[in-house]
Structure 1
Amino acid sequence: MTSEQFAVFSEFRRDFKEYCKKISDEFGSVLVPLQKTAAQKDTPDYPAENPVVYNTALDEITEQSQIRLIVIGDNPGKDEQLAKNRKYLVGQSGKIAAGFFQKNPQFNTDFRKNAIILNKTPVHTAKTKHLKFLAENGGEKIRQLLQESQLYMAQKTARLHIDLCHAASTEDEKPEIFLVGYSELKKNGIFTAYRDELKKNYGNFPEEWEKVLVFQHFSMNRFSIDLKEYIKNNGTQDMVQAAHDLGTLHKNEIF
């Protein structure tokens, strides 16, 4: 990163860490029993250790890091919230994502070194769909927390991305956003608040908006299957270009 990019990132990281601590201190005691109850119906018992998760992998990023992607998942799951981890996309979906980039060196991206990994909310649930349970059973304060945390992440992520692009010294230093989780961004999905706020924050930045791409989840290989199907149907040989085209197609469908 350029020194200006690293200053931008450092400010984002500091603010995000403070935000996660703040909402964890304020809402953690209420969230944990809700998260456990939500998981009982369809999830084996697991230790609930962090109701709100800051991605500690961000602390490993330095000025020497080459950031090519900002990857946005849904929310921290069972593995992500464990005290030994406290990192995003370290479960099965993250392993699939890391494997995809390892198998496709044309993207010139090490998933663990060249990507800033964020979520649409830092509030943990064992499965993303459990956020609905929290919103419906946690009272007005929890419902507002889930809404406001999406707005916060959308605003901060857009600002980070735009500022990183503006602080770049070459075109290659301007990262793209891979926004994964196509279905829950649709109408009546869990993350419509995030979707709408993200788009609003790019209103005056059309060039940076072009670098925002939407995809299926990495889980169950849906990202790869969708991309391979697009390549097959369009006769494209360049996988990087195909990913950009598919991500733009999904973005236009969602937004």
Structure 2
Amino acid sequence: MNDSQWNVFLRFRDEFKNLCNQWGQFSNELHPLQKEAAKSVPDYNLETAIVYNKAYDEVQKTDKINFIVIGDNPGKEEQLASNQKYLVGQSGRIAEGFFRRNSELGTDFRKNVLILNKTPVHTAKTVQLKYILKNGSKEIVSLINESQKKMAQLAFELHNGLFSNSKNDFPELWLVGYSELKKNGVFNRYRDELKKQYEGYSSWNKVFVYQHFSMNRFIVDLNEFRKDNNLPLKNCLEEIGKIHKNEIFGD
């Protein structure tokens, strides 16, 4: 990163860390809701209700950032006190393998990608946020809704700041996993705020939407597209990302 990009990243990191510290005041109220919401999944140690991504503290100014990848929310492995990093479970391992196998993308998933979520509030499965929204206090409901809006704002500021200070049209922003971005989805506030933030900015052209890495859905979707499209990988990714972007944002 150049000096301008590094300062953009530092502002993002520090603001997000401060927000997680502030939102942490709701941890005691969140814990029983998160446990109850997860009754349908195998038992696990619930250790972190609001998850800051400690991988940000390992980023160096010399790192080249090619992609910003935005998942849903921290899952079981992400919230472990020994981890507290995003996309370190099965989905992250699939993503890591994808970039490793496709060297033409020139990307180490753990070195050249900044990983964000749509909210730092943990649930074992994303859909369980709906249980918390239904059964939580008005303060908890506000936390989940407002954290989405704030994460959309931060994602835009980070991406646009890095992009506008780049000489090579990078980084791209990838929204991976979009079922809950659809109408009545738990992340529709994130969707609307993100679109609002990008209005009038050319960096919007470098925002793409994909299937989630989990259950190999990203790979399956890519392979299906490539059956009928004899294009280089980068072009395939761009076209798929535009198709799903249009499904979610209408453009």
TM-score by length of 2: 0.97
2:26 alignment partner AA: F
Kindly indicate whether the alpha-carbon contact (under 8 Å) linking 2:213 and 2:219 is maintained by their aligned counterparts in 1.
Answer: yes
Match of 1:219 in 2: 214
2:208 alignment partner AA: L
Matched position secondary structure for 1:98? helix
Q: How does 1:61-76 map to 2 (within 5 A)?
A: 61-76=59-74
Match of 1:251 in 2: 245
Match of 1:171 in 2: 168
- Could you tell me which runs of 5 or more consecutive residues in structure 2 were left unpaired when the two chains were aligned: none
- Could you tell me which runs of 5 or more consecutive residues in structure 1 were left unpaired when the two chains were aligned: none
Match of 2:8 in 1: 8
* Shift, 1:29, TM fit: 0.5
Kindly indicate whether the alpha-carbon contact (under 8 Å) linking 2:164 and 2:203 is maintained by their aligned counterparts in 1.
Answer: no
What CA deviation, in whole Å up to 9, does each residue of 1:60-95 have, x standing for no partner? 111100100000000000000000000000000100
* Shift, 1:171, TM fit: 1.3
What CA deviation, in whole Å up to 9, does each residue of 1:77-133 have, x standing for no partner? 000000000000000010011011111111111110000000000000011011000
TM-score by length of 1: 0.96
* Shift, 1:253, TM fit: 1.1
Matched position secondary structure for 1:210? helix
d(CA) in 1 for partners of 2:181, 2:215? 18
1:209 alignment partner AA: W
Q: How does 1:110-129 map to 2 (within 5 A)?
A: 110-129=108-127
* Shift, 1:175, TM fit: 0.2
d(CA) in 2 for partners of 1:60, 1:97? 19
Q: How does 1:90-105 map to 2 (within 5 A)?
A: 90-105=88-103
1:129 alignment partner AA: V
Match of 2:182 in 1: 186
1:115 alignment partner AA: V
Q: How does 1:80-99 map to 2 (within 5 A)?
A: 80-99=78-97
d(CA) in 2 for partners of 1:104, 1:189? 32
What CA deviation, in whole Å up to 9, does each residue of 1:156-181 have, x standing for no partner? 1101111111222x115x20011011
d(CA) in 1 for partners of 2:247, 2:36? 35
Query: 2:30 matched to 1:31?
Result: yes
